[in-house]
Amino acid sequence: MIKPHGSDSLMPLLVDDPARLEALRTEAEDMPSMMLSSAAAANAVMLGAGYFTPLQGFMNKADALAVAEHMQTGSGVFWPVPVVNLTADDSGILPGSRIALRDPNVTGHPVIAIQDIEAVEVLSEEDVDFIAQQVYRTNDEAHPGVATFTSLGRVLVSGPIQVLNLSYFETDFPETFRTAVEIRSEIEKRGWERVVAFQTRNPMHRAHEELCKMALEAVDADGILIHMLLGKLKPGDIPADVRDAAIRKMVELYFPPNSVMITGYGFDMLYAGPREAVLHALFRQNAGCTHLIVGRDHAGVGDYYGAFDAQTIFDESVPDGAMEIEIFKADHTAYSKKLNKVVMMRDAPDHAKEDFVLLSGTRVREMLGAGEDLPVEFARPEVARILMDHYAEEAANSA
């Protein structure tokens, strides 16, 4: 099986020894505590679940700036985005102390992790602007990732953490949420050697379905990991439980048995385009995948990135040997009226635009909101029905 990133074995930070866990929970009751941002809590979950191997906690200022500029920490670990714990209130947080990190996304704000504080540093406005520009390629506050990052505070609290639980993901998504450890175990159990990962924060339509099948055949893979984001999204995105139901119905009806693992991970979407595509590759390698599908506008939003910037970054900015996972570069896929099947548009040079069934995301949402059927060339009827029911319920609740 493919090795984890930067390590011979996964390094999950979740405390799994019951006695040790209970001792830490008891100790945390008397510690100073800090309320995490949702972004930092998501980082803690990814660290706990092993997805962020080989990182041991939250980065300091020097590492955050180095990662933003060069995609590498001071110790030489290749990493595409800063993993930080930022706050606006540093009262009672001192280097050399231990603090309890509280979860903002769970009722009662239980302790999600304990952090050994190595440094408490302040990011200047110039630092924040620099990181945002490097990671998101923009400082525009209309970009949802930039807006989130610039709202987190300027005090950077760094140091290793011990994770006590994985927030709401295990309880809210018991059939779907899986750690990198669990996914690797399942891949090994199935005897898969070559595994293609498909990242999604949206429901999967016909083009996504066929893209997975194309990649499966092209790289001669044993199976597909459909790996959906379960954390915070921007307003207007479809909730995780609806996406989950739609994807499961599609796989049940339209994929061969035992060819797909449907799983999810606990992270808040960054919408960082190319940089986030590299992050997606790294933590899919940690989950045991050998290939990641990177398509048009992967992890993008609005018009901030070129259509294929998330592919070219692997050629232009990722050093040779920095990661072992391979990228399956996909073109825009659409249903061909001429060929009566979904194709990559680059493979149909004799087609004009009108030869394809093309619907924008905005148009799809408009049709669903109006209760209109989506074309069968665009969405499987069973998938479309789940989405239409969701939009009908949303309309009824807002009436």
Where in the sequence numbering do the catalytic residues fall? 201-202
Taking the C-alpha atoms of residue 86 and residue 373, their distance in angstroms, rounded to an integer, is 45
Quickly count: other Cβ atoms within 10 Å of residue 369's Cβ: 13
State the helix-helix crossing angle for 125-136 and 61-70, rounded to 10 degrees.
40
Angle made by CA atoms 387, 231, 332, in degrees to the nearest 5: 55
Helical ranges in 255-324 per DSSP H: 274-286, 309-316
336: amino acid identity, one letter: S
Reading the block at residue 260, the tokens are 């797909």
Residue 318, number of CB atoms within 10 A of its CB: 19
Please name which of 265, 277, 279, 230 lies closest in space to residue 49, comparing C-alpha atoms.
265
DSSP string, 291-309: EEEE-TTTT--TTSS-TTH
DSSP class of residue 322? S
Helix 240-254 vs helix 381-398: angle between axes, to the nearest 10 degrees? 160
Rounded Cα gap, residues 149 and 139, in angstroms: 10
State the helix-helix crossing angle for 274-286 and 309-316, rounded to 10 degrees. Answer: 70
C-beta neighbour count of 182 within 10 angstroms: 15
Q: Which of 206, 203, 249, 250 is nearest to 229 (CA)?
A: 203
- Measured from the Cβ of residue 360, the count of other Cβ atoms closer than 10 Å reads 8
